Amino acid sequence: MSGPKELALNTEYPAPNEDELAHKLVQLLRGTVEQRFLLGMTYRGVNTKSHAAVRANLIVDPDLPERFRVGLFKTPRTYPAWIRFSSTLPTPLPDNDRDLRGMGIKLMDVDGVTLLDGDSHTHDLTFITPDTFLTSTPQDFLAFAEAGGLNAKWSILDLSRILIFTLTHPGFLINLLKSQKTIGSLIEVPWYSSTPYLFGDRAVKYSLRPWLLPTTPIPHRPPNNYLREGLVRQLQEAEAGFDFRIQFQLDPYKQPIEDALVPWREQDSPWHKIATVVLPKQEINSPEQYMFGENLSMNPWRCYPEHRPLGGVNRVRRIIYYEGSKFRHQRNAVPVVEPKP
Ligand code: HEM
């Protein structure tokens, strides 16, 4: 990645024309959505397959040291929340196909103004299963999308363009192969913000460490939706949860803000637990609840200014998610509504 030679801590280095780039991605994603969902329901452009919508609580740790008392975590309290679990590929596939998984957490009952829409009283947090994103920059993501990477079916021309893209971006290919996995259970794997966020005046990444060890096997002859079926069963039997952790940027070269392909290694910057995400024992299997999750809109910019998304990949997400959600809600004739507890 080209950029300034000297990097400072907690500092962004926006590239020129990022707004134009974001609008190109909006158009491109809209085109693929129109191609894929000609009739019937319109789903998300990526993170398309919903596994489930689940009720949760984010509980801020009591007695947090002063340096962690920022924004959402200022005072010990509990935020009611919805979690939507998804698989990332634009085409919904059987759960046994290798993929990255996504988790969107929508906190409710949040006081004060968020960056995206001032009066929603909601605050969104997004996670994926790998600790890095697929491309270093939004420029690379656009190049991948322009090569046909998000198309429903890859033509010979798409394939040759994608091949050229991967040969010229070996980090993308290596990361894609590493991060596409099959998993036994959605609540037995760690989750990562993968991109950085502000935490007051410092840069951090978030992660969720599961309480449960990865003991659930992938079923023999796996049903298409075994991840959903397993989650339904696990939450009928017991509550589950995650430790909510943050990791500070300590070195702007080892933990860059503008390169989303570089993992922030734990040995260079330790994780600190500051809250707990609890998924109470519950029934999640109704079609109504599934549709409710389908109609949710997450946006990493729906947040307090103290938790502003950082880095190029995060900057372009603001408009992309906003327009993506507006478009699918319009096509589905469903209003965009932020839920209340
Ligand atoms: C340039 C980079 C990216 C692009 C173009 C992009 C695009 C999108 C789009 C279009 C959606 C659907 C929005 C909607 O219709 O409501 C989405 C959802 C999502 N993205 Fe990204 N994304 C990017 C980076 C990331 C990163 C770095 C993460 C890491 C956490 C992430 C995690 C998610 C998750 C979890 C969802 C599903 C949210 C939900 O449940 O509604 N994405 N993304």
pLDDT in tens, 125-154: 999 999 999 999 999 999 999 999 988 788
How far apart CA 220 and CA 218 sit, in angstroms, is: 7
Question: According to the model, what pLDDT value does residue 2 have?
Answer: 53
pLDDT at 242 exceeding the cut of 60: yes
80 pLDDT higher than 70: yes
Backbone angles phi, psi at 320, to 5 degrees: -65, -45
Helix runs in the chain, H state only:
18-36, 138-146, 156-168, 170-179, 226-237, 287-294, 312-331
Q: State which CATH number among 3.30.365.10, 2.40.180.10, 3.40.50.850, 3.40.640.10 fits the domain covering 18-331.
A: 2.40.180.10
Smallest CA-to-CA distance from 121 within 333, 284, 280, 341 is with 341
Q: What is the pLDDT at residue 4? A: 65
Residue 195 CA, closest ligand 1 atom number: 27
Query: Is any ligand 1 atom within 6 A of the Cβ of residue 138?
Result: yes
- The domain limits of the chain are 18-331
Range 265-273 average pLDDT: 98
Report the C-alpha gap between 74 and 60 in whole angstroms.
Answer: 9
Q: What is the mean pLDDT of residues 300-309?
A: 97
pLDDT at 33: 95
pLDDT at residue 226 in the model: 98
Closest CA to 143 of 164, 174, 170: 164
Output the pLDDT for position 3: 58
Pocket test for ligand 1, best of 298, 301, 319, 327 (most atoms within 8 A of CB): 298
- Inform me whether the pLDDT recorded for 222 exceeds 90: yes
- Which ranges in 98-225 belong to alpha helices (H)? 138-146, 156-168, 170-179
Residue 1 has pLDDT above 70, yes or no: no
Arithmetic mean of pLDDT over the chain: 95
Are the beta carbons of 104 and 302 closer than 8 angstroms?
no
Residue 66 CA to ligand 1 centre (angstroms): 32
- pLDDT tens digits, 87-133: 999 989 999 999 999 999 999 999 887 899 777 899 999 999 999 99
How many angstroms does the Cα of residue 62 sit away from the middle of ligand 1?
Answer: 31
- Using the predicted structure, report yes or no on whether residue 12 has a pLDDT greater than 70: yes
Mean pLDDT score, 153-181? 91
The string of pLDDT tens digits covering residues 13-56 is 999 999 999 999 999 999 999 999 999 999 999 999 999 999 99
Bridge partners, residue 102, by sequence: 86, 128
Is residue 274 predicted with pLDDT exceeding 80?
yes
- Single-letter amino acid code for the residue at 283: E
DSSP E strands, 88-168: 101-107, 123-128
Q: Is 102 in the pocket of ligand 1 (CB under 6 A)?
A: yes
User: What gap in Å lies between CA 85 and CA 90, rounded to an integer?
Assistant: 15
Question: Could you tell me the two tokens for 241?
Answer: 């949860």
